[in-house]
């Protein structure tokens, strides 16, 4: 092959023009307008386009009056996204919450004592000496858990008073009812009749204090998880349309799509995740994988998307755009 013969490879040309939108970013001339910025994300490409798609899907969930599942990992509550979650529930945008046990633990603590800003890099052995727990770039002084222990024992006395075997949703609801902070996720869920599913209730400090409580006060109390699973499934069966917003992945995300399988798949789905597809994990699996399982429906118009991003960066933008 000589240079001339290469041209067909290098500059093949193309005939038809594509009829998709032009790639074009926000125009920073003139006064800044947040809504227009988010609109411009649709044609900015890469993950900005994914976020614009997520906003669009979240808006359609509402137009279609979908039953909205909000799922999140515990660290969402550790962070300042707790307030955004509480807002969504308070304003009636959310119908079902699914999360892990750290969320419950930390939401209660924050009604009494804040978490503190910290540092990613620290001398952890020294922190341990001082009783300071590191959680990414946040610090949680251990006195929070001293307070929590006492608070929970009082609650456990009431919670197990009439029945010894209870469910995680009852736990979340009755605990939420004791709280007074308007920014509490559990309080808002309790006040607004939004069930909070948390099958692995033991896997956080509430689990630790249940252990101590059983040791010290009543070894017969228990948490049963099949009742909740039934409710979650059957509640989904009643819905004409469902929408799912998964902030972070893991068990909460899977619990939502797995139970939507019974009704033939979720109708609208937004994932926000840092998971890696190539590790074959549930956390990293994009929505399309769930289509093969029947856990998410596939429609003609885009009804699911994944934003590959750390949630604190993008969830507030989603809330501000689709839920205000």
Residue numbers of the site for ligand NAD (CB under 6 A)? 46, 73-75, 78, 100-102, 105-106, 135, 200, 203-204, 248-251, 254, 272-275, 279-283, 310-311
What distance in Å separates the CA atoms of residue 132 and residue 258, rounded to the nearest whole number?
A: 38
CA neighbours closer than 13 Å in the CB half-sphere of residue 6: 4
Residue 229 binds what, of a second copy, ligand NAD, none (CB under 5 to 8 Å, by partner type)?
a second copy
64 near a second copy, judged by CB under 8 A = no
From 105, 57, 288, 316, select the one nearest 206 (Cα to Cα). Answer: 105
60 near a second copy, judged by CB under 8 A = no
Active site residue 67: no
Contact 263, 239 (CB under 8 A): yes
230 near a second copy, judged by CB under 8 A = yes
Element of type H or E holding 192: none
Query: Closest approach of Cβ 90 to a second copy, in Å?
Result: 9
Note the residue count of the chain.
324
Binding segment for a second copy (CB under 8 A), chosen from 64-72, 171-179, 185-193, 231-239, is 231-239
Residue 227 binds what, of a second copy, ligand NAD, none (CB under 5 to 8 Å, by partner type)?
a second copy
> What are the phi and psi torsion angles at 47 (to 5°)?
-75, -25
Binding segment for a second copy (CB under 8 A), chosen from 55-63, 172-180, 185-193, 261-269, is 261-269
From 94, 91, 86, 99, select the one nearest 68 (Cα to Cα). Answer: 94
Contact 184, 106 (CB under 8 A): no
Query: Closest approach of Cβ 274 to a second copy, in Å?
Result: 5
Selected catalytic residue, list 67, 110, 295, 297: 295
């Amino acid at each position: 092959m000589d240079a001339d013969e290469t041209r067909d490879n290098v500059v093949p040309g193309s005939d038809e023009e594509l009829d998709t939108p032009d790639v074009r970013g926000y125009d920073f001339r003139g006064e800044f307008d947040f809504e227009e910025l988010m609109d411009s994300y649709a044609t900015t490409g890469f993950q900005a386009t994914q976020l614009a798609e997520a906003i669009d899907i979240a808006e359609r969930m509402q137009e279609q009056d979908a039953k909205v599942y909000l799922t999140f990992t515990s660290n969402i509550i550790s962070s300042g996204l707790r307030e955004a979650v509480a807002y969504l529930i308070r304003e009636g945008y959310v119908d079902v919450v699914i999360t892990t046990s750290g969320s419950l633990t930390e939401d209660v603590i924050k009604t009494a004592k804040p978490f503190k800003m910290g540092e990613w890099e620290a001398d952890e052995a020294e922190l341990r000496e001082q009783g300071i727990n590191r959680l990414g770039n946040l610090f949680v002084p251990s006195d929070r858990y001293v307070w929590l222990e006492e608070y929970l024992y009082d609650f456990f006395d009431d919670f197990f008073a009439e029945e010894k075997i209870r469910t995680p949703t009852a736990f979340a609801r009755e605990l939420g009812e004791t709280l007074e902070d308007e920014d509490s996720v559990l309080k808002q869920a309790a006040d607004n009749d939004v069930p909070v599913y948390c099958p692995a209730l033991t896997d956080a400090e509430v689990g630790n204090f249940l252990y101590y409580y059983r040791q010290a006060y009543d070894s017969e109390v228990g948490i049963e998880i099949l009742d909740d699973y039934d409710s979650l499934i059957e509640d989904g069966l009643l819905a004409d349309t469902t929408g799912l917003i998964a902030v972070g992945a893991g068990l909460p995300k899977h619990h939502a799509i797995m139970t939507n399988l019974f009704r033939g798949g979720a109708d609208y789905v937004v994932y926000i995740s840092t998971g890696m597809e190539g590790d074959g994990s549930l956390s990293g699996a994009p929505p399309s994988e769930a289509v093969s399982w029947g856990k998410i429906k596939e429609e003609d118009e885009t009804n699911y998307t994944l934003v590959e991003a750390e949630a604190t960066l993008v969830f507030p933008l989603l809330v501000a755009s689709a839920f205000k």
